[in-house]
């Protein structure tokens, strides 16, 4: 039952292992070449575009996989054009945010350049829909490795860099990787059918994806954007850098859970037997992985931060140890959340998003001014725990 999903998971983990090594090298070089303040501004810009990427995706990636796995292949045409439209909306909103919020002040040129990544990331997401639904994630892994590899090669051969050059090379590297991916995906899917817009399919795609889309937008807001913006407003760019480095490590730690659940999601969404057994097998694997991650981070946090950021990022150690607690809840939350979505629980996820967003805004406003970035890390732990409890409740109801 777990044969093909485990293969896809192992391929993604192997690819992620290589990607993590490159990412760690890139992070270590950037933290030193950009210095703390500039790296904080880099985190602020990239955190903002996590939110915009979620808007451009609008839940279409995960729902697209579910619909293909369920046999509704024609709906993917509507999903393609819905993604295109939402990428345009995200770009327009991004311009308004960049030029309307004073926090971007001296960063408006750099942020506007980085905004080009929204459309490129949206296209990469559509390629992933095709490969995930067909359980061919090894192709996605290879394409995703080309992107950071090109950027790393450039970064290791320059001395003086700024945010404009960093984001400029980001864009070029992403374009090259997408050209490779386009020619590769043609063997799995024909793009000729997407050249004309089918309004009814777009409407149908919107109807089934909007609850998940709103959830993802809300999640991206309190997952990265709100934290970074509040820390920048209350504490400054240095604290954004310290918190951002810890959060980056945290996001890497939860990737194995995402890969495993991502691989079994088409099976959970289909009509195959043994889904309950598959769920509990995955739960056991995730629980063990979460506990090992927690112990490892508590012991190795000082070394990890020193390697990636150096002595100037010492405040990140405490933040990372707190976020390691959130890893446990996040691992199990991935499985419960994807299982709920496989049963058509998008609207329940929407309720979760609303509760999480309110919790995050209220708690961060109350805690960050007094307890700083460690307080923000505890809010993340609370959010992950709240999400797990709510999703478990909704899944029990859906199962009954």
Tokens representing 16 are 């992620």
| Terminal-residue alpha carbon distance, the chain | 24
Residue 181, burial from CB neighbour count under 10 angstroms (0-12, 13-18, 19+): buried
282 by Cβ neighbours in 10 Å (0-12 / 13-18 / 19+) ranks as buried
Return the beta strands (E) in the chain as ranges: none
Are 70 and 11 spatial neighbours (Cβ–Cβ below 8 Å)?
no
Q: What is the pTM of this model?
A: 0.74
Computed from CA positions of residues 166, 171, 177, 181, in that sequence, does the dihedral angle turn out positive or negative? positive
Task: Write out the chain's pLDDT in tens, 400 residues.
Answer: 445 555 555 666 677 678 778 888 888 888 888 888 899 989 889 888 888 888 888 888 777 766 666 666 677 778 888 888 999 999 999 999 899 888 888 889 999 998 999 888 888 887 777 666 565 666 777 777 888 899 999 988 887 788 999 999 989 999 998 888 777 766 656 656 656 777 888 888 888 788 778 877 877 777 677 888 899 889 888 999 999 999 989 988 888 888 788 777 777 776 666 778 888 888 899 999 999 999 999 999 999 999 888 888 999 999 999 999 999 999 999 999 888 888 877 678 778 888 888 998 999 999 999 999 999 999 999 999 999 999 999 888 877 6
Secondary structure (3-state) at 59: coil
CB 171, CB 194: distance < 8 Å: no
With 0-12 / 13-18 / 19 or more C-beta atoms within 10 angstroms meaning exposed / middle / buried, residue 105 is: exposed
Q: Tokens 């890390």 correspond to what residue?
A: 377
Q: Which residue has the tokens 């039952």?
A: 1
For the chain, the structural domain boundaries read 3-399
Distance CA 74, CA 208 (A): 14
């Amino acid at each position: 039952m777990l044969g093909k999903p485990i293969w896809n998971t192992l391929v993604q983990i192997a690819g992620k292992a290589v990607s993590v090594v490159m990412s760690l090298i890139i992070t270590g070089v950037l933290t030193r070449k950009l210095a703390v303040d500039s790296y904080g501004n880099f985190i602020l810009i990239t955190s903002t575009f996590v939110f915009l990427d979620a808007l451009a995706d609008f839940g279409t990636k995960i729902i697209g996989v579910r619909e293909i796995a369920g046999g509704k292949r024609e709906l993917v045409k509507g999903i393609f054009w819905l993604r295109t439209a939402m990428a345009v909306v995200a770009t327009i909103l991004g311009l308004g945010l960049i030029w309307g919020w004073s926090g971007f002040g001296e960063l408006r040129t750099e942020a506007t350049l980085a905004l080009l990544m929204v459309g490129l990331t949206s296209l990469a997401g559509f390629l992933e829909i095709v490969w995930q639904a067909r359980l061919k994630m090894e192709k996605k892994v290879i394409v995703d490795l080309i992107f950071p590899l090109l950027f790393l090669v450039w970064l290791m051969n320059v001395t003086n860099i700024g945010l404009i050059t960093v984001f400029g090379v980001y864009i070029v590297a992403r374009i090259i990787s997408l050209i490779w991916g386009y020619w590769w995906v043609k063997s799995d899917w024909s793009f000729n059918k997407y050249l004309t817009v089918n309004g009814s399919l777009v409407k149908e795609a919107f109807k089934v994806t909007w609850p998940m889309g709103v959830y993802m937008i809300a999640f991206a807001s309190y997952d990265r954007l709100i934290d970074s913006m509040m820390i920048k407003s209350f504490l400054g760019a240095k604290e954004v850098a310290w918190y951002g480095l810890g959060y980056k490590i945290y996001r890497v730690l939860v990737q194995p859970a995402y890969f495993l659940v991502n691989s079994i999601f088409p099976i959970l969404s289909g009509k195959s037997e043994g889904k309950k057994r598959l769920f509990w097998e995955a739960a056991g694997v995730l629980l063990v992985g979460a506990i090992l991650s927690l112990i490892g981070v508590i012991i190795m946090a000082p070394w990890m931060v020193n390697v990636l950021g150096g002595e100037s990022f010492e405040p990140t150690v405490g933040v990372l140890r707190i976020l390691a607690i959130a890893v446990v809840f996040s691992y199990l939350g991935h499985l419960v959340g994807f299982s709920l979505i496989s049963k058509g629980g998008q609207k329940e996820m929407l309720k979760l998003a609303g509760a999480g967003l309110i919790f995050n805004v209220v708690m961060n406003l109350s805690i960050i001014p007094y307890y700083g970035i460690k307080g923000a890390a505890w809010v993340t732990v609370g959010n992950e725990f709240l999400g797990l409890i709510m999703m478990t409740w909704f899944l029990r109801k859906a199962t009954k």
